[in-house]
Amino acid sequence: MEKSNISYIRPKKHHNYVAFFLTLACDLRCSYCINLHGTGSRYIGAKNSHMTVKKWVESANRLNLRDDLPLTLQGGEPTLYKGFYEIVNEVKEEVKMDLLTNMFFDVDIFIKNTPVWRFTRDAPYAAIRASYHPGQNDINVLIGKSLKMQEAGFRVGLYGILVPDEEIKNHILEVQEMCLKMGIDFRTKEFLGVYNGKLYGTFKYENSVCGNQMGACECKPTELIVDPGGYVYGCHADLYNGRNPIAHILDENFNEKEIDKFRDCYFYGDCNPCDVKVKTNRFQIFGHTSVEIRNILELK
């Protein structure tokens, strides 16, 4: 029986992703980073500081998630959030988590303080997904840490971005081959965004990314994404810019119905590639986009 004093958030079948961005801080400095480490030109409007552990736990405990939908902890580097281990231990057991990380953390501390069951569920990909960023984190260190985590019972996957540079791309593919031989799940990700003045990615809506002109439109999300201050946004571009939060995760009246609304947006053209890219959903089915956009008007 549910306790009557908690108002639950129950993501529907078509809600594909639930993520808490615990912090946008990161200990790496990748040139292509989409959040610019929380100190750059983006996230300017984010007047909100980090939520307390107690509030994050309270927020996660509001979630009533399907078996196939975890709560993803991400950032920045989510393990830099000072209450990270309290969150993974104190949230109610029904909430399974995924982690997006650069694995710069101390694996011994992680293994000692993290229950394996929290990151264990049936899925076509690893719950703990670490990115390899050439020049930023060392692949041999990542391999050593991955093997140690695997021995401790965690399912870990490494990911390399196919940056449009032949040398880097070939390096990633070599590393992938080496990891697979060692029994480490290594997958590649398409590069999204601008590289040497050229835009990469397949986007559903024309001129939505790096458009020459801003437009007005109506936009509806399929994801529940929450910034370090606990604010809920309709898209990644809004979250990273700290603009137009649609609610706070602890607003009593906020629930899954609020996600399913078209809202006016005047930033069409400044969309984040993540939101408008034609991609694979959590069932590994291709063709999904994170947002649905309609009634696009160019602003003169």
Residues that bind ligand SF4 (CB under 6 A): 26, 28-30, 33, 35, 76-77, 102, 131, 133, 208, 217, 219, 234-235, 237-238, 265, 267-268, 270-271, 275, 291, 293
Dihedral sign for Cα 81, 86, 90, 93, please.
positive
Q: How far is the CB of 295 from ligand SF4 (least distance, A)?
A: 11
Nearer to ligand SF4, 6 or 141 (CB): 141
Q: How far is the CB of 275 from ligand SF4 (least distance, A)?
A: 4
Nearer to ligand SF4, 57 or 161 (CB): 161
Distance, CA of 179 to CA of 187 (rounded, Å)? 10
Dihedrals phi, psi of 176, to nearest 5 degrees: -60, -45
Distance, CA of 59 to CA of 56 (rounded, Å)? 5
- Nearest in space to 75 (alpha carbons), one of 43, 112, 113, 37: 37
Nearer to ligand SF4, 84 or 95 (CB): 84
Nearer to ligand SF4, 173 or 216 (CB): 216
**Do strands 128-132 and 97-101 pair parallel, antiparallel, or not at all (unpaired)?**
parallel
Task: Give 290's contacts (C-beta < 8 A, 6+ positions apart).
Answer: 16, 17, 221, 222, 223, 235, 236, 274, 275, 276, 277, 279
**Beta bridge mates, 18:** 224
Dihedrals phi, psi of 226, to nearest 5 degrees: -125, 130
Q: How far is the CB of 100 from ligand SF4 (least distance, A)?
A: 8
Nearer to ligand SF4, 172 or 217 (CB): 217
Q: How far is the CB of 140 from ligand SF4 (least distance, A)?
A: 17
Q: How far is the CB of 217 from ligand SF4 (least distance, A)?
A: 5
Count of beta carbons in the 10 Å neighbourhood of residue 53? 17
SS3 142: helix
Q: Which residue has the tokens 């809920």?
A: 232
For residues 268 and 208, the answer to whether their CB atoms sit within 8 Å is yes
Q: How far is the CB of 114 from ligand SF4 (least distance, A)?
A: 20
Nearer to ligand SF4, 85 or 266 (CB): 266
Distance, CA of 12 to CA of 69 (rounded, Å)? 10
Nearer to ligand SF4, 98 or 275 (CB): 275
Q: How far is the CB of 239 from ligand SF4 (least distance, A)?
A: 9
The DSSP H or E segment spanning 57 is helix 53-61
Nearer to ligand SF4, 19 or 65 (CB): 19
Dihedral sign for Cα 203, 206, 209, 215, please.
negative
Distance, CA of 38 to CA of 287 (rounded, Å)? 30
